Structure 1
C-alpha cells in the first residue's frame, strides 16, 4: 500500500491511498493506516484506481456504504464524491465518535480482488463536563473538590491556585484543615493536545472570626478633631460596636460620629471637649465569634519650657547691682517686681 496523504482544506480532511497490486482477500489482516480527524469536521476517503475495474465498493466494518454509485448506507452524512476510472471517493460530514473504526475500499479488476483499507481515528477536544460548585467552609474544615473531563485521547486534569501555581494533578483536589490564607479561586485545567485547554474555576471561601489588627491610643486637643480607628479582618465581614469605659454604648451626636467601612470602624470627633477624653472599646463580631480591643483618647498638653532653660532665663533677667541702663538709670541690688513675676511664671509652667 502506498503511504496516504492527509491534507486539511477548511473543515475537510482529504485522505488518499492506493490499492495493493495483486492483493487478495487473505490480506485483510494487514495493519491499517491511521487517519485522524476532529469530531465535527468532514473527511474524504479517496481510493485511487489505476486499472480497469468491473466492481467496486466501500465498507465500514461489515456494513456496505456504496457499491459503485449505489448507496447502501442510510446515513445522510455519508456521500459519494467521485466514481470514475481513476478515483472512487466517499465523504463523511460532521464526523462523530461512532464513525471511528476501519473503512475498506475493494474492487474487482482483471478478475482479481483489490483491497485497501484505513482506520479512522476521531479526536475530541478535552472539555470539563462536571465540576464542584463554589464552596464556603469554616477555617479548619476539610475541602474536597472534583473536576471531571472527557476527550479523545484521554485528557489530563490539573488544579492550580492564583498564589502558588500547580496544586494537584488529577480530577480531585483535597485540602485538609484549610487555612484562611487558602481562601481563593482554584482553577481546573484539562488538556489532551487536540485543542486549547478547557478551564473553569471554583471559588473557595474560608470563614473565620474577627481579629482586630489596628489599635492605637490617640492624643487630642480641645476644640480640634480626632479619630479612633478599629480595623478587623473577618469572613463574613465583621459588624462593629463602640463602648465607653463605663460600658455605655457610643452614639452619634453633633460632636461625635461613627463611620463603619468594610474592614474597619472609625470614631470621628469633630469638636473635642473634656467629656470625650477616656477609654473606648471597639467590639467586632460575626457569626463565628467576636474580638474586642480598648484604646485611649487623651488630652495633648502644650509643650512647656524645660526647667534648666527657664532658670537660665530668670538669671539673665536679674539686673546686676550698680549697672547703669538707658538714660543713666542705675539699678540697685535686689530683685524687681519683674524678676519676681518671671520666677512665678517659670514655676507655674512646670506645674
Structure 2
C-alpha cells in the first residue's frame, strides 16, 4: 500500500513537574498538496479536539500549536496542571490516516496537609500517644520521621526496653506507654523524588510528676569551708524548686546561701552552696520540686567534720 501521509517518528511519552511546560513534537511526512489543517491534536481520553492546523480550538489559553513549515508539528502546554495528565493524539486527516499517541505524566512535589496532622501533642507518661502526618503529591510521597536535634528515636520494644532508630518510616509514629525519653520535637518529612521535599515540626510533650535523685545524702564539712549540696530532678511540665533547712526555713540567695539551678529539657540540676560552714549549719536539708502533677523532695544530712592536724 502506498502511504502518502505518515506520522513517521513516535512522539514519546513526557514527564514534567507541576507548573512547567510540556512540549509534544509530532513529525508528519505529508506529500502532495494537502492543506495544513489536515493535522489535529486531540485529547485521547474524551476525544476533545484541541487544535486543527495551527489554530487552537479548545478553550484553554495554556495550549499553543506551531508548525515549522516542514515536518514538525508542535503542541505546548504551559503551566501544566494535574488535570493535563493523560494521553494526546497527533492525527493526520488525509487519505492515508496516521495517528501517534503520547502520554503526559505530571509530577507534583509533596505538600503536607496541615489539617491532617496530629499537631503538637501532650500525654501523661505511660499513656499511648501517636504523632501523625499526611501529605499529597504525585507519585504518592513517603513519610519519614526524624528527631529535630539529630538524636535517635526511641521505640519501646517491651515494658522495660527500647530500640533506637535514626529514622522511622510511616504516616503514624506510635508511642506505646510513652516515656519521658521520647519527649522532643520530631520532623515529619514528605518526599517523592520531585523536589522540594517538605517537613513539619511536631512536638511531643510527656507530663510526669517530679522525681529527685540525691548523689550524696550524708556530707561532712570542715568548719569555715563552703559546702555544696546537689539534687537532680526530672519533671515536666516546669517545676518550682527550693531548698528547706530542718523542715522549716526556706533558704534564699544572699550572703549565707547561694541557690542555683540549671534546666536541660526535663532534667533540672539544683545546687545549694552554704558559705563559711559553722556548727549551726549542721542539720537536715531538703531539696523540693513541685509541678502541677505532684511534689518530690530529697533529703541530705550535713554534719561538721574535724580536721586532724
Q: State the TM bucket, normalised to the shorter chain.
A: 0.7 to 0.9
SS of 1:50's equivalent in the other structure is strand
Deviation at 1:196, TM superposition (A): 5.2
Tell me the equivalent position of 2:134.
148
Rounded Cα–Cα distance in structure 1 between residues aligned with 2:130 and 2:60: 45
Per-residue CA deviation, residues 26-85 of structure 1 (Å, 9 max, x unaligned), is xxxxx9953222211111111112222332211223222221122212211111232523
- Partner of 1:261, secondary structure, is strand
Q: Shift of residue 143 of structure 1? A: 0.9
State the secondary structure of the residue aligned to 1:49: strand
Superposed counterparts of 1:1-351, under 5 Å: 19=7, 34-52=13-31, 53-54=34-35, 55-61=38-44, 62-109=47-94, 111-130=95-114, 131-161=117-147, 162-163=151-152, 164-165=164-165, 168-195=168-195, 197-216=197-216, 217-262=218-263, 263-303=268-308
Question: In 2 relative to 1, CA 60–253 (structure 1 residues): closer, same or farther, beyond 3 Å?
Answer: closer
Query: Counterpart of 2:225 in 1: which secondary structure?
Result: coil
**Superposition deviation, residue 219 in structure 1:** 2.3
Contact 2:51/2:58 (CA < 8 Å) preserved in 1? yes
Structure with the largest fraction of helix: 1
Task: Encode CA deviations 1:307-336: one digit per residue, 9 max, x unaligned.
Answer: xxxxxxxxxxxxxxxxxxxxxxxxxxxxxx
Unpaired runs of 5+ residues, structure 1, are: 1-17, 22-30, 305-351
| Structure-2 separation of matches of 1:300 and 1:83 | 103
The aligned counterpart of 1:317 is none
Cα distance in 1 for partners of 2:11, 2:55 equals 26
SS in 1 for 2:228: strand
2:198, 2:247 → 1: CA distance?
A: 61
> What TM-score do you get using the length of structure 1 for normalisation?
0.71
TM-score relative to the length of structure 2: 0.80
C-alpha distance 214-86 of structure 1, shift in aligned 2 (>3 A) = same
Q: Which runs of 5+ in 2 are unaligned?
A: 1-5, 153-163
Deviations 1:103-152 (A, max 9, x none): 1111234x222221212111112332233212222211221222111111
Indicate how the Cα distance of structure 1 residues 45 and 245 shifts in structure 2: closer, same or farther if over 3 A, else same: same
1:20–1:115 contact (8 Å) kept in structure 2? no
3-state SS of 2:93 partner: strand
Distance in structure 2 (CA, Å) of the matches to 1:254 and 1:48: 94
| Higher-strand-fraction structure | 2
Contact between 2:185 and 2:202, CA under 8 Å: does it hold in 1?
yes
Spell out, residue by residue over 1:170-226, the C-alpha distance to the aligned partner (whole angstroms, 9 max, x if none). Answer: 322222210111112333233323335433332212122212123423322322222
Structure 2 CA distance for partners of 1:139 and 1:37, relative to 1, 3 Å: same
Greater C-alpha radius of gyration: 1
Distance 1:270 1:154 in 2: 66
Query: In 2, distance between residues paired with 1:291 and 1:157?
Result: 41
Per-residue CA shift, 1:322-351, capped at 9, x if unaligned? xxxxxxxxxxxxxxxxxxxxxxxxxxxxxx
Distance 1:300 1:166, change over 3 A: closer
SS of residue matched to 1:218: strand
